[in-house]
Structure 1
Amino acid sequence: MQARDIMTTGALTVTPQSSIAKAAQLMLAHRISGLPVVDQAGALVGIVTERDLACRPEISTAPRHEKWVQLWLTPDELAEEYVHSRGRTVGEVMTRKVVSITPETPLDKVVALMIRDGVKRLPVVQDAMVIGIVSRADLLRRLAARLDSLPEAKIADLSMRKHILREITGKRWAPRPIINVAVLDGVVELTGSVQSEIVRNAVRVAAENAPGAAKVIDHLSVVPRASGSKERA
């Protein structure tokens, strides 16, 4: 699946000459957290987000540093911070280093970029022009649609058990030393022991996601590994 499959087409944009008041009003009116900034030709030159507008003297949130902190900042850094918190146009406060994607960018890379850079939305660019946006909300909507459309597969209890065991076998977090999965009429019962509460949750989720699972009964006990024992590769 690619960015084109979930992106919002025709993103709202502003120009560097737009006022920050206009940018804030657009974000509020459309309930979005950021806007791509484009030049007169429509090419992407930056992005302005809620974070760029959060530190302002108008709401008493402008940066204030102790004198000893200022000693560690260069005059250029202090001047740049001053402009960013008091600028009147989008061009003065926007983030210029923009992470963007193309319509063909795979969704796993989209998510990886969002996590790496801590951003909520990525402009979709084609031939230097912004043609859309992929936001976290777009990803959630796609996920919800896929979950709703999952077939309620009616498989035999034995096949379901094999599916769960396949899912939790071979992974580095695989439960050990002992675990049993019993399935009767779509009800999964988990017994045995795992090394941590996190692994217990992972096993339970694997059982819950098995096609046809109607209910999961968790009787797993948590038995931490002995101190000094080594993790199996």
Structure 2
Amino acid sequence: MTGTTVGDVMTLGVHSVRKSTPIADITRILAGRGISAVPVVDHDRDVVGVVSEADLLLKQAEGASVVRAAEDVMTAPAVTVEADKPLQEAARLMVGHRVKRLPVVDRYGKLSGIVSRADLVRALVRTDADIRGEVDQDLLVLIRRPSRGQVRAQVTDGIVTLTGTVERRSQSVLLDALIRRVAGVVDVIDRVEYTWDDEANRPAG
């Protein structure tokens, strides 16, 4: 599947701080780089928290007397997303946790970059031709041999209509699920037929 992942749209070379970084340094970083949050990492670059403008303002509003370093204001544990996840996963996390950006980590949990709402919006604004091109590439990968079927895709206003035939029902189910992961796809109308229902006798659960 060649669907767009978080790693494809994230910002690299993201600035990070340590738990001991002074608040004054953090405010200079936020103001100087025009960003609203910065990840907090340990010596192994594991993400341990996030300091945002909102965190700083909240502590100020509360009149906190001891606010010296990142560890005094950071939100922890940090909500992160892995670089190989689809954009929909990042969007779900942002909405669910009401955050504007997410630190991006590799499979070992190390900081790789950062992804913002704006990054997701830019990636999702795609033409039907762009979507069709990516869907066609996926179909070539998923159905390599004529014996496995012939499937065609039509895209209108982000809605993908799949027609044709495949050998097994499970292939049709897989196609539908994977095409939905393509960035910019609004919905999938599945009109693919199959010659063998290989899921008919599959045990439930």
TM-score normalised by the chain length of structure 1? 0.51
5 Å-filtered alignment, 1:17-166, equals 17-57=20-60, 61-62=61-62, 82=64, 86-126=66-106, 127-144=108-125, 146-147=126-127
Structure 2 portions without partners, runs of 5+:
132-155, 161-205
**Matches of 1:44 and 1:133 in 2, distance apart?**
11
Uncovered stretches (5+) of structure 1, i.e. residues with no partner? 64-81, 152-162, 168-233
Looking at structure 2, the residues matched to 104 and 128 of structure 1 have their Cα atoms a distance apart, in angstroms, of 12
Evaluate the alpha carbon distance shift between residue 110 and residue 41 of structure 1 in structure 2; reply closer, same or farther with a 3 A threshold. same
Give the number of the structure whose alpha-carbon radius of gyration is greater: 1
Task: Name the CA shift for 1:149/1:52 in 2 (closer, same or farther; >3 Å).
Answer: farther
Number of aligned residue pairs:
132
Q: Separation in 2 of the partners of 1:104 and 1:50?
A: 28
Return the alpha-carbon distance in structure 2 between the equivalents of residues 93 and 135 of structure 1. 21
Shift of 1:147: 4.6
2:8 equivalent among 2, 5, 8? 5
CA distance in 2, matches of 1:32, 1:105: 24
Runs of 4+ residues deviating >3 angstroms = 147-151
Q: Percent identity?
A: 36
Partners of 1:147 and 1:54 in 2: how far apart?
A: 40
1:128 Cα deviation from its structure 2 partner = 2.3
Structure number with greater CO (CA < 8 Å, separation at least 6) is 2
Distance 1:56 1:98, change over 3 A: closer
**1:165-190 CA distance string (max 9 Å, x none):** x99xxxxxxxxxxxxxxxxxxxxxxx
The TM-score normalised by the length of structure 2 is 0.57
* Residue 55 of structure 1: how far off its partner (Å): 2.9
User: Alpha carbon RMSD of aligned pairs, Å?
Assistant: 2.7
Distance in 2 between residues matched to 1:103 and 1:20, nearest whole Å: 29
